[in-house]
Amino acid sequence: MLTDQQILRIPGPSPIPPSVSRAMTQPMIGHRGQSTSEMLADIRPKLKRVFGTAQEVLILTASGTAGLEAAVVNAVAPDDEVLVIVSGAFGERFADICRTYNIQTHIIETEWGKAATVSGITGALEAHPNIKAVFMTYCETSTGVLNPVEKLAAEIRGKSEAMIIVDGVSCVGGVETKMDEWGLDIVVSGSQKAFMLPAGLAFIGVSERAWNKIEANLQPRFYLDLKKHRDNLIKDTTPFTPALSLLFGLQKTLELMEEEGLGTVYARHELLMKMTRAAFKALGVPLLTVDEDASPTVTAVKPADFEAEVLRNVLKEEFAMEVAGGQKVLANKIFRIGHMGYCSPADLLQAIAAIEIAIVKAGREIELGSGVRAAQQEYLKGANR
């Protein structure tokens, strides 16, 4: 096998564009100096556009989970009652964090692979009228479900005063996010998914309504104190030492995203999703989710008549291509293809072509090339739109 090739098609970390890798190798500069301030001044408005907000989007040197924890410790008071919509592993993580802080936590659990429904929310809000915050996952990375955040938020806003707190780690930047328009209070994302960077930065958008709550909240927090981050960021600086090379990279990826155009970026992700789904339908290999629930950033496939792990091994051994397996209840049952961030239609066609070979090697008969053909047809449709 060709040495030194890595074809990364997992749902994060995602591949890094060469110009971003180069940007990250810039020599270190003082993080209290003018150059860092200028860089943050350049980053701030671009990050706001990605989140669809006029508010500051805070930048923490931390992984996505710290962003989720920051949402909890800043926006939830110790005696608050909260609701967590769980539709997979990352919904569970939100619940785990809430329970760690002894917050009274209600759960609505959706079957893994299905999206949360508005009616489920309605019932829970009626059953627990004192709920102060609702947590949800925009893209559930573990299942490839995109929850209908806009609709869920509209229902919550109509029925209660609860904060709406969204884990957008695996889709913000690849899927349109209109934080202000949809009435979201906190949206968390991370650098290693659609933002095309290594892990190490968490991004947190905070609504005006959430700031009121945060200012009054007595829950102790230091590094994760969002007020400190906001008060510094509006002066183009950071409260603590930032991961400078990741900021160099962030400046570059945001530039690339604006160069492509955010609308085009989102349309590309939508196209990649459609190409992927068309391929597996043509191959007769079942998808975990229905079309309506599918995320443009990651697709989960649930083979009925071959082992997902055998396929993953063939891809790794013969093509140096990594796709992800299933987590928890879906372990060994699914494989997941990341198509977020630095991923083109050509990359997707490559993944499908290699996966077809791996399906054959996993013992399932298919018409070779038929998945690629369906993806190509989807591409041609998209390109002619």
Closer by beta carbon to a copy of itself, 8 or else 154: 8
Upper half-sphere CA count for residue 146 (Cβ side, 13 Å) = 22
- Our finding on whether 197 is near a copy of itself (CB under 8 A) is no
Closer by beta carbon to a copy of itself, 102 or else 384: 384
Closer by beta carbon to a copy of itself, 176 or else 322: 322
- Give the span between the Cα atoms of 214 and 273, in whole angstroms: 37
- Our finding on whether 20 is near a copy of itself (CB under 8 A) is yes
Q: In angstroms, what is the minimal distance from the CB of 365 to a copy of itself?
A: 13
- Our finding on whether 321 is near a copy of itself (CB under 8 A) is yes
- Our finding on whether 319 is near a copy of itself (CB under 8 A) is yes
Number of residues this chain uses to bind a copy of itself (CB under 8 A): 49
For 42, phi then psi, to 5°, come to -75, -40
Q: Which residues of 113-144 are buried (b: 16+ CB within 10 A; e: fewer)?
A: bbbbbeebbeebbeeeeebbbbbbbbbbbbbb
- Give the span between the Cα atoms of 375 and 20, in whole angstroms: 29
Q: In angstroms, what is the minimal distance from the CB of 330 to a copy of itself?
A: 26
Q: In angstroms, what is the minimal distance from the CB of 8 to a copy of itself?
A: 12
**With contact defined as beta carbons under 8 Å apart, do 59 and 111 qualify?**
no
- Our finding on whether 345 is near a copy of itself (CB under 8 A) is yes
User: For a copy of itself, what does the binding mask look like between residues 127 and 156, x meaning CB under 8 A?
Assistant: ------------------------------
- Our finding on whether 25 is near a copy of itself (CB under 8 A) is yes
- Our finding on whether 218 is near a copy of itself (CB under 8 A) is no
- Our finding on whether 365 is near a copy of itself (CB under 8 A) is no
Q: In angstroms, what is the minimal distance from the CB of 287 to a copy of itself?
A: 19
- Our finding on whether 8 is near a copy of itself (CB under 8 A) is no
Among 33, 54, 380, 381, interactor with a copy of itself by CB under 8 A: 380
**With contact defined as beta carbons under 8 Å apart, do 184 and 166 qualify?**
yes
- Our finding on whether 357 is near a copy of itself (CB under 8 A) is yes
Closer by beta carbon to a copy of itself, 70 or else 355: 355
Does the annotation place 32 within a ligand binding site? no
- Give the span between the Cα atoms of 235 and 215, in whole angstroms: 19
Among 268, 312, 336, 339, interactor with a copy of itself by CB under 8 A: 268
The three state secondary structure string of the chain is CCCCCCEECCCCCCCCCHHHHHHHCCCCCCCCCHHHHHHHHHHHHHHHHHHCCCCCEEEEECCHHHHHHHHHHHHCCCCCEEEEEECCHHHHHHHHHHHHCCCEEEEEECCCCCCCCHHHHHHHHHHCCCEEEEEEECEECCCCEECCHHHHHHHHHHHCCCEEEEECCCCECCECCCHHHHCCCEEEEECCCCCCCCCCEEEEEECHHHHHHHHHCCCCCCCCCHHHHHHHHCCCCCCCCCCHHHHHHHHHHHHHHHHHCHHHHHHHHHHHHHHHHHHHHHHCCCECCCHHHECCCEEEECCCCCCHHHHHHHHHHHHCEECEECCHHHCCCCEEEECCCCCCHHHHHHHHHHHHHHHHHCCCCCCCCHHHHHHHHHHHHHHHC
Among 2, 28, 218, 304, interactor with a copy of itself by CB under 8 A: 2
Closer by beta carbon to a copy of itself, 162 or else 285: 285
Among 214, 342, 362, 364, interactor with a copy of itself by CB under 8 A: 342
Closer by beta carbon to a copy of itself, 62 or else 194: 194
Closer by beta carbon to a copy of itself, 91 or else 345: 345
Q: In angstroms, what is the minimal distance from the CB of 332 to a copy of itself?
A: 24
| Part in contact with a copy of itself (CB under 8 A); list of ranges 30-38, 113-121, 152-160, 351-359 | 351-359
Closer by beta carbon to a copy of itself, 58 or else 321: 321
**Residues at the site binding a copy of itself, with contacts judged by CB under 8 A:** 1-7, 17-20, 25, 256, 259-260, 264, 268, 318-321, 342-347, 349-350, 352-354, 356-357, 360, 367-377, 379-380, 383
Which residues are annotated binding-site positions for substrate?
336
Which residues are annotated binding-site positions?
336
